[in-house]
Structure formats: structure tokens, C-alpha cells
Chain A
């Protein structure tokens, strides 16, 4: 893009990953943004824009900003779940470029376990079914897993992908979570653990699915010019693609191959802006609402050939110590579900060299690079990271960063 390297992520922050926050999405959002501002070294005059995404389950920016003492020149709350983070980074650049504001805080705050459960149970299951939902929900197809499973099944049919191959995504992410003091599930699991866990919706076992979580996440975007004066080493935005669609997003099943996901269309946009190729990427953050979503996106963006995602994720490449680790925090499968922002936060910390693992000197960038349990999760000399955001098979976003 013409704006390559002109904008940066300068601050990141999050609240505890839990299943019992006991407080409002407003309170959590304030805490996450406060941490991100402190991380960046920004005071209350340092942020004048705010954006958030939600699905009717969170607090808007104009209720959050007063608690931070901020007077905003721009705010906007959008409807959206996964893949919104990357898209909002692009929109923040646009708002700054348009002269509407100079520094934008983005947040996602949700009581995704204790209140509006992302899996579709709880208060959401009682809502009337109308409009486009009538095409699926009356048939017992409501949750994200139920809505995606025929895509996963068709990939297995077309390419011979196996449950055991895909289980390696959980294995890798659990390995990474064992190095992450914040993670909800820090225990390492095996392929057999995944295959022996109970069925949710075939082909998904329980351990193919992420962890519904209460949490807020935040990050701050500003110009490279302003970033130079701030507290952290700037992380530069090389390219962004936001909520790119397959045809027929109202009913994507109508257009095949249904095993194709939106990255097919997003990859040329984001790699074109960044001027790099998949092999130049050191760390991926491929959205893991399910093991399959990570696999499908990695192959669609060209980290392996289309159809070979099963081999790719089971080869060791995506594990810490491998050629291109994926989701080094353990992310949605093991750290906790955040609708994607945590994976951009993790990649930002990786590029700074200050991942918050068990190394005593992590905050000063002192790491052991020992990837045994409860040790280090910093990737040595990481230069370029890529986030692959997923909303559904038909919608996705991408973001490429470097240090």
C-alpha cells in the first residue's frame, strides 16, 4: 500500500482471561485500554480516537472514553466478530489519514463465557429466529461450529485431510500456552487427547474448539512519526486487508469450492501492499476458533499448497522451534477466546522481543529460547509477522507487521 510503514501499533493491553469476570464489559474495556496507553507511554491527551467491535454484547466507545478521561475527536463502534481487529487497524489508519484524529485505541470487550456465550447457548439461544437465520437455525445449525462444520467436512472429502492431522493445531497451541502465564489452559495435550475428547459436531471434537472466555483486549494505532517518540519500539504496519468476502456471503454454500475460504481473495491485497511473500513471514497468527480454521487459512494464504494444510499443520512447522510458529500465545484454543485481537497483541510483543513468558527478564527482552514447559515462548529474531483473521469461511482479514 501507499501507506506501508507509515503507521504503527504502539500500545497493547488486555485483562485477565477468565470465565467469571464478575464485572461489566465497560470496566474491562477501560482496564485494557488503560494498560495499552501505559504500555505506549500515552497520557490522556495522547489518544483522540476510539473504535470497537461487538455483536450487541459489549459497551460502546463513548461510554468507555469518559472513564479514561479522554475527549475524542473520532469514535465508531462496528458490528463484527472475528477478523474485525485487522479491519479496524486499516480503518484507524484511514481515520488518521483523513485528518479526523491522530491516535486511535481499538478494543474488544466481552463476557463471552459468563454472559453472552459465543457458542450460542445462554441468552442468545432464546432469541426469535427471523430473517436470514431462517436458512439455517431451524435445522439445528446455530453455533459457529455448526455453521462451519460442512466446510471442514468437504475439505476432508476433497483432500483426504484427517482428524489426526488437524489435531496437531491444538497440540501446537497447547505447547505455546504452557509458556504463557495468562493462558486459561496451560496443560500440553497430545493428538490422542484431541481425538478422544467428546464429539461436539462432527468433524469437531471438544478439543478442536476454542475456549469461551471473559476478557477485554486493546491496541493503539498512530503514525510512524508519533510512534518514534513513544515508549515502545514501534511495530510497523506493512499491509492490511479487511473483511474480504467470498461471493454470496448471505449464503456462501451457493458458491464453491466450499472448502475455499476468504483468504483466497485477501492474499493478493495484503501481500501486494507489503511487497513480501509467505516465505518471508516468521510468525503467523491464524485465527483458531477451531483447529480447522487455522489450517484452512494457512493453506489459503499460500504457506503451503491448497489442500496440503493437514500436512503443513502436522509437520512441526507451526510449533515454537519450528520454521514458522503459529499463535505463539496458545490463542483462542488455549489462552482464551477474544475474537482475534489477542493474536495481533501477541505478534506485536513478539516483534518487540518482549513476549510475557516465564523468563524472568522478558520485559527487558531477555529470553532463554528454551521451549520446554513453563519457560520461553519468544521467537528468536522475529522480523515479520502475519495475522489471518476469520469471521467465517466467506469473510476474513489479514495484517502484516514488522519491527
Chain B
């Protein structure tokens, strides 16, 4: 049963966790792979048993580029988990991936929660965090079979309007 200690948390994937069993292991191989429905061909995240768009149960794994932009975010100043206190202030970002934007409806997309980090896996300084900025995936290795997909800024032109919380 993969289990890893990270920032004082015990992250556990029991053997019968049929949703999560492959995700963080594939991330350890530095691949961001999502479940794609064999019926309607749409990918989804987080990993789920059924397809949220058509209800079909058959799926296969598909690698995505890990490129996208910041769709929304927050800056945590007061950490709840003790292990995050030395990380504050840190950004939690909602990243919209490039693949499958606007499908199946204009409002839908593949979105994923992660931290915005520097190349050495420290929190990206708050001044650099903004909606619209382009990002790509990076992998934070936690053990031999477990890595967290995280995101870093790229120097690509932004996606639409760049907006930073004024406070």
C-alpha cells in the first residue's frame, strides 16, 4: 500500500483505491496521465470510475503535455497543516490545461489543483502569481513510487488578461 509522509501528512493509497492507484505512481515516472473515456473520448481529472460526461465506465490512460495557464489561485498566509507553516506564504493554483479547453461545453476544461513552485520546488514568490500566466507541470518526487504533479511559470505569452489580486 503506497503511503508517504509529506509535510506531516500521511498520504495513503490503499490497494483497493481504484481511483488513485496509478496517478501518483505515473507522476513518479514524470508523466501527467489522465483517464480518457473509451466511449466519448473526453479526458477527466481527478481520476474517477465513471465518465462525468457520458457515464461510460471504460477508460484508458492518455498523457497530456502538462502545459496550461493559471485559471484562479489563492495565497495561503496562515497555514492549517503544521508542515506548511515554513512554506507560507504559498500559492495554490487552479491550472487549466491546454488539452480539451472548452469541451464538452464552453465552460468546461481539464483543471487541476497544485502549488506554483520555483525550479527548486520552493513556493513561487507571491508577486509573480497571477491569473492568465502560463505554466507547465513539474514533478515533486516524494518516494520511489510517489510524486506530486506541481506547476512552474514559463516565459510564454499569457493567456488573455493577466490579473493579480491587489491586496
Binding site for B on A (CB under 8 A): 119-121, 125, 128-132, 134-143, 146, 149-151, 153-154, 156-157, 163, 195, 198-203, 247-248, 250-251, 253-258
Contact at A150–B94, with CB atoms within 8 Å?
yes
User: What is the chain A residue whose CB lies nearest that of B79?
Assistant: A140
Which residues of B approach A to under 8 Å, CB–CB? Answer: 6-7, 9-14, 17, 19-20, 23-24, 44-46, 48, 52, 71-82, 84, 87, 89-90, 92, 94, 107-111, 113-115, 131, 148, 150, 163, 165-167
A149 touching B80 by the CB < 8 A rule? no
On whether A248 and B52 interact (CB within 8 A), knowing A125-B81, A198-B78, the answer reads yes
Q: Which residues of A contact B166 (CB under 8 A)?
A: 163
A-B contact pairs, 26 of them (CB 8 A): A120-B80, A128-B11, A129-B12, A130-B14, A131-B19, A132-B19, A134-B24, A136-B113, A139-B148, A139-B150, A140-B79, A140-B80, A140-B90, A141-B76, A141-B92, A142-B80, A146-B92, A153-B74, A153-B131, A156-B165, A157-B72, A201-B76, A203-B165, A250-B48, A250-B52, A254-B44
In the bound complex, residues from chain B placing their C-beta under 8 Å from that of A258 are 71-72, 94
B10, A129: Cβ atoms closer than 8 Å: yes
Q: Once the chains are docked, how many angstroms separate the CA of A130 from the CA of B45?
A: 16
Residue from A149, A250, A258 having most chain B Cβ neighbours under 10 A: A149
Contact partners of B115 in chain A: CB under 8 A: 139-140
Q: Which residues of A contact B167 (CB under 8 A)?
A: 163, 195, 199, 202-203
Task: Establish whether residues B52 and A153, one from each chain, have CB atoms under 8 Å apart when the complex forms.
Answer: no
CB-CB under 8 A from B7, the residues of chain A are 140
Do B113 and A139 touch (CB < 8 A)? yes
Task: Say whether A139 contacts B114, CB under 8 Å.
Answer: yes
CA distance A150 to B77 in the complex (A): 14
Not counting A199-B77, A202-B75, A251-B46, a sample of 5 additional A-B residue pairs whose C-beta atoms are within 8 angstroms of each other reads A125-B82, A138-B11, A146-B76, A200-B78, A250-B48
Chain B nearest CB, measured from A207 CB (Å): 13
B131–A140 CB distance below 8 A = no
A128-B12, A140-B92, A141-B92 known; A253 vs B79 contact (CB < 8 Å): no
Which of these, A130, A154, A202, A253, contacts B17 with CB under 8 Å?
A130
Is B12 a contact partner of A138 (Cβ separation < 8 A)? no
Shortest distance from the beta carbon of A121 to any chain B beta carbon, whole Å: 6
Total A-B residue pairs with C-beta atoms closer than 8 Å?
A: 141
A117 closest partner in B (C-beta)? B80
In the complex, the answer to whether A140 meets B77 with C-beta atoms within 8 Å is no
Question: Is the pair B77, A200 in contact by a Cβ cutoff of 8 Å?
Answer: yes
Question: Once the chains bind, are B87 and A140 in contact (CB under 8 Å)?
Answer: yes
- Residues of B contacting A257 in the complex (Cβ-Cβ under 8 angstroms): 107
Q: Are B110 and A254 in contact (CB under 8 A)?
A: yes
A201 to B78, CA, bound (A): 6
CB distance from B86 to the nearest CB of A (A): 11
Alpha-carbon distance A224/B20, docked complex (angstroms): 50
Residues of B contacting A121 in the complex (Cβ-Cβ under 8 angstroms) = 80
In the complex, which residues of chain B have a beta carbon less than 8 angstroms from the beta carbon of A129? Answer: 9-12
Q: Which residue of chain B lies nearest to A205 when distances are taken between CB atoms in the complex?
A: B167
Q: Which of B11, B80, B113, B165 contacts A202 (CB 8 A)?
A: B165
Q: Which listed residue, A119, A135, A143, touches B113 by the CB 8 Å rule? A: A135
Which residue in B6, B14, B17, B87 is a CB contact (below 8 Å) of A138? B6
A103 CB, min distance to chain B CBs, angstroms: 41
How many Å lie between the Cα of A247 and that of B44 in the bound state?
13
B107 lies within 8 A of A201 (CB)? no
Whether A153 lies near B72 (C-beta < 8 A) is: yes
Q: A199 contacts B78, CB within 8 Å?
A: yes
For A254, give its contact among B20, B81, B108 (CB under 8 Å).
Answer: B108
Chain B residues within 8 Å of A156, by CB: 165
**A-side contacts of B82, CB under 8 Å:** 125
B45 partner, pick from A125, A128, A254, A255, beta carbons under 8 A: A254
Min CB distance B69 to A, Å, is 13
Given A146-B76, A153-B165, A201-B74; A137-B9 close (CB under 8 Å): yes
Chain A's nearest CB lies how many Å from the CB of B71? 7
User: Which interface residue of A140, A150, A250, A258 has the most chain B CB atoms within 10 A?
Assistant: A140
Whether A134 and B20, one on each chain, are in contact in the complex, defined by CB atoms closer than 8 angstroms, is yes
Complex Cα distance, B130 from A157, in Å, reads: 10
Identify the closest chain A residue to B92 (Cβ).
A141
Q: How far is the CB of A199 from chain B (nearest CB, A)?
A: 4
A195 CB contacts on chain B under 8 angstroms: 167
On whether the beta carbons of B80 and A146 are closer than 8 Å, the reply is: yes
Distance (whole angstroms) from the CB of B92 to the closest CB of chain A: 5
Other-chain contact of B46, A128, A139, A203, A250 (Cβ < 8 Å): A250
A253 partner residues in chain B, CB cutoff 8 A = 71, 94, 111, 113
Residue in chain B with minimal CB distance to A143: B80
Q: What residues of A have a CB within 8 angstroms of the CB of B148 in the complex?
A: 138-139
Judging by beta carbons under 8 Å apart, are A141 and B14 in contact? no
